[in-house]
Amino acid sequence: MPSLILFRHGKSDWHAGQADDLARPLSGRGRQSARAMGRFLADAGQIPDRALSSPAERARQTIRIAMKAGGWSCEVSTREALYRGVAEVLDELRGQPPGFDVILIVGHEPTCSAALETLIGGGRVRMPTAALARVELEIASWADLEPGCGELAWLVHPRLFKTEARDSP
Protein backbone atom coordinates (compact mmCIF):
# COMPACT_ATOMS: atom_id res chain seq x y z
CA MET A 1 0.00 0.00 0.00
CA PRO A 2 1.61 3.33 -1.07
CA SER A 3 2.24 6.17 1.37
CA LEU A 4 2.73 9.88 0.85
CA ILE A 5 4.79 12.23 2.98
CA LEU A 6 3.92 15.90 2.55
CA PHE A 7 6.74 18.28 3.51
CA ARG A 8 6.01 21.98 3.54
CA HIS A 9 9.19 23.90 2.72
CA GLY A 10 11.03 25.63 5.54
CA LYS A 11 10.56 29.30 6.37
CA SER A 12 11.73 31.48 3.51
CA ASP A 13 13.87 34.61 3.62
CA TRP A 14 11.65 37.49 2.54
CA HIS A 15 14.59 39.88 2.90
CA ALA A 16 16.91 38.06 0.49
CA GLY A 17 16.30 40.65 -2.19
CA GLN A 18 14.68 38.21 -4.60
CA ALA A 19 11.89 39.79 -6.64
CA ASP A 20 11.06 36.42 -8.21
CA ASP A 21 9.04 34.16 -5.87
CA LEU A 22 10.66 31.04 -7.32
CA ALA A 23 14.14 32.33 -6.41
CA ARG A 24 13.41 33.12 -2.74
CA PRO A 25 15.73 31.01 -0.50
CA LEU A 26 15.28 29.61 3.00
CA SER A 27 15.94 31.76 6.05
CA GLY A 28 18.27 30.60 8.82
CA ARG A 29 15.27 29.26 10.73
CA GLY A 30 14.11 27.48 7.58
CA ARG A 31 17.47 25.75 7.23
CA GLN A 32 17.41 24.75 10.92
CA SER A 33 13.94 23.27 10.55
CA ALA A 34 14.88 21.38 7.37
CA ARG A 35 17.84 19.82 9.22
CA ALA A 36 15.67 18.83 12.18
CA MET A 37 13.04 17.25 9.95
CA GLY A 38 15.64 15.38 7.89
CA ARG A 39 17.03 13.90 11.10
CA PHE A 40 13.51 13.07 12.26
CA LEU A 41 12.81 11.10 9.07
CA ALA A 42 16.06 9.17 9.49
CA ASP A 43 15.58 8.49 13.20
CA ALA A 44 11.98 7.37 12.65
CA GLY A 45 12.89 5.08 9.72
CA GLN A 46 10.66 7.09 7.38
CA ILE A 47 12.97 7.47 4.37
CA PRO A 48 11.07 7.96 1.11
CA ASP A 49 11.78 6.04 -2.08
CA ARG A 50 11.41 9.20 -4.15
CA ALA A 51 11.03 12.93 -3.51
CA LEU A 52 9.19 15.35 -5.76
CA SER A 53 9.96 19.02 -5.20
CA SER A 54 8.43 22.27 -6.30
CA PRO A 55 10.81 24.23 -8.55
CA ALA A 56 10.99 27.03 -5.94
CA GLU A 57 14.49 27.45 -4.50
CA ARG A 58 13.21 27.24 -0.91
CA ALA A 59 11.59 23.84 -1.61
CA ARG A 60 14.69 22.48 -3.36
CA GLN A 61 16.89 23.71 -0.49
CA THR A 62 14.55 22.08 2.04
CA ILE A 63 14.93 18.57 0.58
CA ARG A 64 18.69 18.91 0.01
CA ILE A 65 19.31 20.09 3.59
CA ALA A 66 16.96 17.45 5.07
CA MET A 67 18.71 14.60 3.24
CA LYS A 68 22.19 15.81 4.19
CA ALA A 69 21.28 16.34 7.87
CA GLY A 70 19.54 12.98 8.11
CA GLY A 71 22.27 11.12 6.23
CA TRP A 72 19.84 9.62 3.75
CA SER A 73 19.13 9.94 0.07
CA CYS A 74 16.52 9.13 -2.50
CA GLU A 75 15.74 10.06 -6.08
CA VAL A 76 14.70 13.73 -6.27
CA SER A 77 12.76 15.25 -9.16
CA THR A 78 11.57 18.81 -9.63
CA ARG A 79 7.96 19.13 -10.79
CA GLU A 80 6.26 22.35 -11.94
CA ALA A 81 2.86 20.94 -10.86
CA LEU A 82 3.90 21.17 -7.21
CA TYR A 83 3.99 24.96 -7.46
CA ARG A 84 0.33 24.99 -8.43
CA GLY A 85 -2.78 23.59 -6.74
CA VAL A 86 -4.17 20.40 -5.27
CA ALA A 87 -5.58 19.05 -8.54
CA GLU A 88 -2.15 19.31 -10.19
CA VAL A 89 -0.46 17.66 -7.20
CA LEU A 90 -2.90 14.73 -7.32
CA ASP A 91 -2.43 14.40 -11.08
CA GLU A 92 1.35 14.36 -10.60
CA LEU A 93 1.03 11.58 -8.02
CA ARG A 94 -1.32 9.56 -10.23
CA GLY A 95 1.38 9.59 -12.91
CA GLN A 96 4.06 8.02 -10.68
CA PRO A 97 5.30 4.63 -11.83
CA PRO A 98 5.01 1.48 -9.73
CA GLY A 99 7.89 0.59 -7.46
CA PHE A 100 7.79 3.72 -5.30
CA ASP A 101 6.06 2.76 -2.06
CA VAL A 102 6.75 6.04 -0.24
CA ILE A 103 6.82 9.34 -2.09
CA LEU A 104 7.68 12.62 -0.40
CA ILE A 105 6.42 15.91 -1.82
CA VAL A 106 8.07 19.22 -0.92
CA GLY A 107 5.57 21.98 -1.55
CA HIS A 108 3.81 25.12 -0.43
CA GLU A 109 0.79 26.46 1.39
CA PRO A 110 -2.09 26.40 1.04
CA THR A 111 -1.57 23.39 -1.24
CA CYS A 112 0.08 21.09 1.33
CA SER A 113 -2.74 21.49 3.87
CA ALA A 114 -5.44 21.31 1.19
CA ALA A 115 -3.92 18.17 -0.36
CA LEU A 116 -3.78 16.54 3.07
CA GLU A 117 -7.42 17.47 3.77
CA THR A 118 -8.44 16.14 0.35
CA LEU A 119 -6.64 12.82 0.74
CA ILE A 120 -8.05 12.12 4.20
CA GLY A 121 -11.58 13.03 3.13
CA GLY A 122 -12.04 16.37 4.85
CA GLY A 123 -11.34 18.19 8.05
CA ARG A 124 -9.18 21.22 8.67
CA VAL A 125 -5.44 20.82 8.83
CA ARG A 126 -2.77 23.49 8.95
CA MET A 127 0.79 22.59 8.05
CA PRO A 128 3.22 25.21 9.35
CA THR A 129 6.55 25.75 7.63
CA ALA A 130 8.72 22.61 7.55
CA ALA A 131 5.95 20.37 8.90
CA LEU A 132 5.77 16.75 7.74
CA ALA A 133 2.62 14.67 7.35
CA ARG A 134 2.42 11.00 6.40
CA VAL A 135 -0.71 9.65 4.71
CA GLU A 136 -1.30 5.92 4.37
CA LEU A 137 -3.16 5.40 1.10
CA GLU A 138 -5.71 2.66 0.59
CA ILE A 139 -4.87 2.16 -3.08
CA ALA A 140 -3.14 -0.53 -5.11
CA SER A 141 -1.19 1.91 -7.29
CA TRP A 142 -0.59 5.65 -7.63
CA ALA A 143 -2.97 5.71 -10.60
CA ASP A 144 -5.83 4.88 -8.20
CA LEU A 145 -5.31 7.98 -6.05
CA GLU A 146 -8.52 9.86 -5.29
CA PRO A 147 -9.95 12.15 -2.60
CA GLY A 148 -10.66 10.37 0.65
CA CYS A 149 -8.41 7.37 -0.04
CA GLY A 150 -5.98 8.08 2.78
CA GLU A 151 -5.60 8.09 6.53
CA LEU A 152 -3.36 10.49 8.41
CA ALA A 153 -0.64 8.44 10.12
CA TRP A 154 1.19 11.39 11.68
CA LEU A 155 1.75 15.14 11.46
CA VAL A 156 5.00 16.48 12.92
CA HIS A 157 5.90 20.13 13.48
CA PRO A 158 9.55 21.23 13.62
CA ARG A 159 8.91 23.08 16.89
CA LEU A 160 8.78 19.68 18.60
CA PHE A 161 12.55 19.49 18.21
CA LYS A 162 14.99 21.61 20.18
CA THR A 163 17.28 23.73 18.10
CA GLU A 164 20.85 22.80 18.94
CA ALA A 165 24.20 24.40 18.20
CA ARG A 166 24.62 22.05 15.23
CA ASP A 167 21.60 23.74 13.66
CA SER A 168 23.18 27.16 13.25
CA PRO A 169 22.97 28.63 9.73
42-45: list long-range contacts, CB under 8 Å, 24+ apart: 42/70, 42/71, 42/72, 43/70
Q: Where exactly are the structural domains of the chain?
A: 3-15+20-167
Q: Look up the CATH superfamily of 3-15+20-167.
A: Phosphoglycerate mutase-like (3.40.50.1240)
Relative orientation angle of helices 86-94 and 111-119, to the nearest 10 degrees: 60
Closest CA to 92 of 105, 101, 109, 102: 105
Chunked into runs of 10 residues, the chain (169 residues) has average pLDDT values of 96 80 92 97 98 97 98 97 95 96 97 98 96 98 98 96 53
| Prediction pTM value | 0.93
Structure confidence at residue 18 (pLDDT): 67
Other CB atoms within 10 Å distance of the CB of residue 31: 23
Can you tell me whether residue 117 is helix, strand or coil? helix
